[in-house]
């Protein structure tokens, strides 16, 4: 790896680059891991009304009509508490798809995915991989913010997944990187813990799109030590894609 390539990796891992400290003419090199606190998510859940738009309709929509359906969606009660929906962002021709859980407060305000603190870390993960944020596509399992950033309820996931499924069939990514337990279990339709979902290439859908699971950036903000394992996952994704892991 060249010096130019290693910089973004060190930034993601939170390793402060070599710093000159002149003490009595001596030069000292040091690095320091960051510690970033975050609140745990609430466990409150909601009960859901029946869906209003059939899954079969969603499965036939092109990008713009799909985005329109999402913005007016009333398939679950989150439509009553959201400021706006968060469809996803990036290139509709991307080879890489990154999938998170659900919008947070900042995403709900801006209508864009991963624009808060976790989003800054996701950008740094993407750049550490030698990719550009606007060259990939970023989406979430849920298109609306669960109030108070609680975990998505199973019925909310069920109501919203057809949108992500359709985004994936339109995008036809060469690889999917899934961020965190909830997104991984939702996309893979399993209750297997994330510890067993990570570390191996999985596959998504009838076309067997390779899928790699890693930790959610919000988890990495709370547990920066896990960034090393996450970097291993991202290298696995790069190797799978045919990059330079
Ligand atoms: N966390 C997510 O899972 N998605 C976002 O868009 C923001 C934070």
The closest-lying atom of ligand 1 relative to the alpha carbon of residue 118 is 8
**The pLDDT of residue 42 is above 70:** no
**The pLDDT of residue 38 is above 50:** no
Q: State whether the beta carbon of 77 lies less than 6 angstroms from ligand 1.
A: no
Out of 3.60.15.10, 3.40.470.10, 3.40.50.2000, 3.40.50.300, the CATH code matching 39-244 is 3.40.470.10
pLDDT of residue 53: 81
The closest-lying atom of ligand 1 relative to the alpha carbon of residue 216 is 3
Q: Are 85 and 140 in contact (CB under 8 A)?
A: no
DSSP symbols for 182-217: HHHHHHHT----HHHHTTS-EEETTTTEEEEEE--H
Q: Which residues contact 57 (CB under 8 A, 6 or more apart)?
A: 69
Would you give the DSSP letter of residue 111?
T
pLDDT of residue 176: 98
For the chain, helix, strand, coil in percent to 5 are 45, 10, 45
Q: State whether the beta carbon of 144 lies less than 6 angstroms from ligand 1.
A: no
Cα distance between residue 9 and residue 108, in whole Å: 29
Cα 151 to ligand 1 centroid, rounded to whole Å:
11
What are the residue ranges spanned by the domains of the chain? 1-35, 39-244
pLDDT of residue 17: 60
User: Band of the pLDDT at 208, cuts 50, 70, 90?
Assistant: very high
**The pLDDT of residue 218 is above 60:** yes
For tokens 């067993």, name the residue: 196
Q: How many CA atoms lie within 13 A of 82 on its CB side?
A: 27
Give residue-wise pLDDT tens across range 57-112.
Answer: 999 999 999 999 999 999 999 999 999 999 999 999 999 999 999 999 999 999 99
Average pLDDT, the chain: 87
Bridge-based pairing state of the strands 202-204 and 209-214? antiparallel
Q: State whether the beta carbon of 182 lies less than 6 angstroms from ligand 1.
A: no
Q: State whether the beta carbon of 103 lies less than 6 angstroms from ligand 1.
A: yes
């Amino acid at each position: 790896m060249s010096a130019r390539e290693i910089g973004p990796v060190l930034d993601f891992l939170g390793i402060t680059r070599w710093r000159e400290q002149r003490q009595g003419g001596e030069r000292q090199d040091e690095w320091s891991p960051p510690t970033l606190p975050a609140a745990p998510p609430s466990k409150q859940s909601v009960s859901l009304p029946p869906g209003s738009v059939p899954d079969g309709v969603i499965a036939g929509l092109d990008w713009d009509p799909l985005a329109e359906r999402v913005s007016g969606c009333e398939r679950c009660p989150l439509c009553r508490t959201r400021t706006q929906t968060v469809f996803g962002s990036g290139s509709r021709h991307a080879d890489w798809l990154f999938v998170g859980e659900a919008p947070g407060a900042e995403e709900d305000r801006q209508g864009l995915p991963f624009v808060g603190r976790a989003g800054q870390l996701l950008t740094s993960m993407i750049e550490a991989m030698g990719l550009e944020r606007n060259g990939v596509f970023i989406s979430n399992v849920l298109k609306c913010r669960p109030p108070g950033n609680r975990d998505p309820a199973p019925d909310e996931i069920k109501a919203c997944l057809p949108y992500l499924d359709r985004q994936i069939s339109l995008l036809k990514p060469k690889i999917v990187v899934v961020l965190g337990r909830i997104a991984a279990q939702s996309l893979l339709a399993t209750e297997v813990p994330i510890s067993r979902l990570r570390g191996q290439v999985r596959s998504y859908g009838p076309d067997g799109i390779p899928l790699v699971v890693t930790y959610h950036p919000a988890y990495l903000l709370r547990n920066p030590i896990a960034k090393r394992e996450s970097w291993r996952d991202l290298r696995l994704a790069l190797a799978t894609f045919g990059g330079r892991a």
